[in-house]
Every structure is written in C-alpha cells, then in structure tokens.
Amino acid sequence: MDKEIATPTKTTEIIKKYGFSFKKSFGQNFLIDTNILRKIVDFALLTESSGVIEVGPGIGALTEQLAKNSKKVLAFEIDRRLEPILTETLDPYSNVNIVFEDFIKADVARYINENFQEIDDLVIVANLPYYITTPIIMKCLNEQLPVKRIVVMMQKEVASRLNAKPGTKDYGSLSIAVQYYTTVEVVMNVPRTVFVPQPNVDSAVVRLTSRPQPLVSVKNEAYFFQVVKASFSQRRKTIVNNLMAGLEKGKEKKEILLTALHEAKIDPRRRGETLSIEEFARLSDYLYDYFHEK
C-alpha cells in the first residue's frame, strides 16, 4: 500500500470511497496521526514473536502498525460495515485476523487458545471507544487472560482514575481493581485534534503491566472487591456507614463491622477514598472471617 492509513488524506479518501458514516453508539473516532500510532506501538514493547489483540480496529490504522511490528494480530470489531474497508486496507498483511464480534461478549480465552498457541508474549493494544473503556479493561482483568501488557488509549479522565492514589478525588474501586492486578503507567497524553471526528475530550495512553502476583494477598478475592465496592458506594459517607449499607446484613452487624475495623486499625469515621489497597486487604480479611466463619 502506497500510503499509510493514518493520514488525514488517506482516511478521508477511504471514508468517501465507502460512504462510511460514523456511529456515535460505537464511539468511533479514527486517529489521523501516524507518529502517535508508532509511539503506541513502541510503548507496547512488541517483538517479532509477540501476539497482539486489538479492540476496535476501525479502518485499520493502528492494526497496520501492529501487523508490521508483531507476529500476529487478532482484532475484534463490532461494526460489520467496516468489513469491506478492512478487507482492502489490511490486504497487504497476512498476519492479521479480524473477528466481527463484540469483544465484551466474546469468548476471548477461546480465541487466544485458537490463535496464539505458540506465543508467550501476548499484548492487548487498542484505541478504545470512550463509552466502553472500563468494561473492556475489567473484562481483561477479571477473566485473567494470559496477557503480559495492555496498552490502550482512553479518555484522559479515565486514565487519571486508573493511576489514582488514596485520598485523591480520582481514587475509587476502578483504581484499586486495576492496581491490584497490574502496574499502571500513563505513558502519553494525546490531544483531541488528531482524531476524526474530533472528540470533545483529550486522551491518554496507559500501559498496564500484569503483576506476577496480585499487589496484595487476600483470603477471598471476590469478597475483597465486594468490600471495596461497598466502601465507595457513597463517597461522602464514612466507611462504617457505607459497609452497613453495602454488605449483606451489614445493618444488623454494626458491632462486628466496628470490631473488624478496630482490628484492621482503621478509624470507622474515615472515608473509603482514604484507605490504601493494603488497608482494604486487611479489612476484607477480618470481615471475611467474621461474616463467613464465625
């Protein structure tokens, strides 16, 4: 192909040729800056033996760069209208496989088994639709896919939440879930001007590197996340009030909650947003013992 896809001229040409119209419901914003795409690929630390999963290839701008820098690319695209475009734009790359399926609903583990059997450096790289960024990241983490790194572009505001520290307004259950499984780096900010159509927010590229073991050790992972979720349900409330409202039989067991908080050395008048991940781990272990074993 004579020209790379991610230039304003080439992108406009492709869109016109196929009479493509952007669908707001799919959060479609195409990148028209090749340098930024190359940087994303650099941050993904790909080698000739890497396998890549992409979510939402659009017209193939990032896919093209991934194909040039890895062994194999598997891209999930929800919008079937893009099929003829992707067939043309990615025709030069025999190492790309496009699956027209909703990534959120797809059995990704099965696709990994079928497509990446000999590959042990598996990376997710994507320019994520803003409206579905969090569910996509949480699916990758909750399903514990055998992925080494996740390098994704997202709304700057969401990137701040992933990387947030206790005591800040951005810190919440999402920060804890992501930091529990991965180390988080915001590697690049991206202006809104390099997209078509132009979104009304700026973006950031985040690299999540899987931890060999979760950040903290807990007796029951599902219960740990339940405690975290309950603690943030109403940010202005104290942790004891949130736990009373958010945990099963919490109201009846206020004394037990207070005892567990005391044993975990956490003042019940604190708000959830001030607790570190280590404190949440300690608290959830005490609560788990009281609520499930006594």
The Cα–Cα gap between 2 and 235 comes to 54
- Kindly state whether residues 175 and 251 are assigned to the same domain: no
The Cα–Cα gap between 144 and 124 comes to 13
Q: Is residue 116 part of a domain?
A: yes
Q: Is residue 1 part of a domain?
A: no
- Kindly state whether residues 120 and 28 are assigned to the same domain: yes
The Cα–Cα gap between 84 and 15 comes to 11
Q: What pLDDT is attached to residue 63?
A: 96
What's the half-sphere exposure (Cβ side, CA atoms, 13 Å) at 289? Answer: 11
Q: Model confidence over 209-245: pLDDT tens digits?
A: 999 999 999 999 999 999 999 999 998 899 999 999 9
Q: Does the annotation flag 127 for ligand binding?
A: yes
Amino acid letter, residue 11: T
Are 271 and 253 in contact by the 8 Å Cβ rule? The answer is no
Q: What pLDDT is attached to residue 1?
A: 43
- Kindly state whether residues 87 and 232 are assigned to the same domain: no
**Mean pLDDT across 80-104:** 96
- Closest among 29, 32, 26 to 198, alpha carbons compared: 29
Instruction: Look at the chain and report how many structural domains it folds into.
Output: 2
CATH classification of the domain holding 35? 3.40.50.150
Q: Does the annotation flag 95 for ligand binding?
A: no
Joined tokens for residue 215: 């950040």
Q: Model confidence over 275-291: pLDDT tens digits?
A: 999 999 999 999 999 88
Are 94 and 166 in contact by the 8 Å Cβ rule? The answer is no
CATH classification of the domain holding 241? 1.10.8.100
Q: Is residue 241 part of a domain?
A: yes
Q: Model confidence over 154-193: pLDDT tens digits?
A: 999 999 999 999 999 999 999 999 999 999 999 999 999 9
CB count in 10 Å sphere of residue 213? 7
Place of tokens 């959120």: 104
Task: Look up the domain containing 269 and give its range.
Answer: 221-292
Over 70: is that where the pLDDT of 128 sits? yes
Over 80: is that where the pLDDT of 115 sits? yes
Q: Is residue 162 part of a domain?
A: yes
CA-to-CA separations, 194 to 93, 154, 263, 275, in angstroms, rounded = 25, 14, 52, 38
Higher pLDDT, 23 or 195: 195
Q: Does the annotation flag 77 for ligand binding?
A: yes
- Report phi then psi at 150, rounded to 5: -125, 120
CB count in 10 Å sphere of residue 109? 12
Q: What pLDDT is attached to residue 293?
A: 64
The residue out of 210, 232, 258 marking a domain boundary is 210
Q: Is residue 2 part of a domain?
A: no
The residue out of 210, 235, 260 marking a domain boundary is 210
Q: Is residue 215 part of a domain?
A: no
Q: Does the annotation flag 185 for ligand binding?
A: no
